[in-house]
Amino acid sequence: MSLLQTADTLGQEAEQLLKAAGLTGAQYNVLRILRGAEPSGLACRAIGERMISHDPDMTRLLDRMEKRGLITRERQCDDRRVVKTRITAQGLSLLKTFDQPVYDLHKRQFRHMSATRLKILYDLLEEVRVRKPA
Output the pLDDT for position 58.
87
Averaged pLDDT of the chain: 91
Q: What is the pLDDT of residues 36-54, one digit of tens each?
A: 999 889 988 899 899 988 7
Indicate if the pLDDT at residue 3 is higher than 90: no
For the chain, give the percent of residues with pLDDT over 90.
68
Output the pLDDT for position 16.
93
List alpha helices for the chain, DSSP H: 2-19, 25-36, 44-50, 58-67, 89-110, 115-129
Q: What is the model's pTM?
A: 0.85
Check if the beta carbon of residue 72 is closer than 8 Å to that of residue 86: yes
Q: What is the pLDDT of residues 42-96, one digit of tens each?
A: 988 899 899 988 777 888 999 999 999 999 998 877 777 778 999 999 999 999 9
- Tell me which of 1.10.10.10, 3.30.70.870, 1.10.10.60, 1.10.540.10 is the CATH number of domain 2-129: 1.10.10.10
Indicate if the pLDDT at residue 133 is higher than 80: no
Distance separating alpha carbons of residues 92 and 111, to the nearest angstrom = 28
Output the pLDDT for position 21.
87
Cis? peptide before 39, omega within 30° of 0: yes
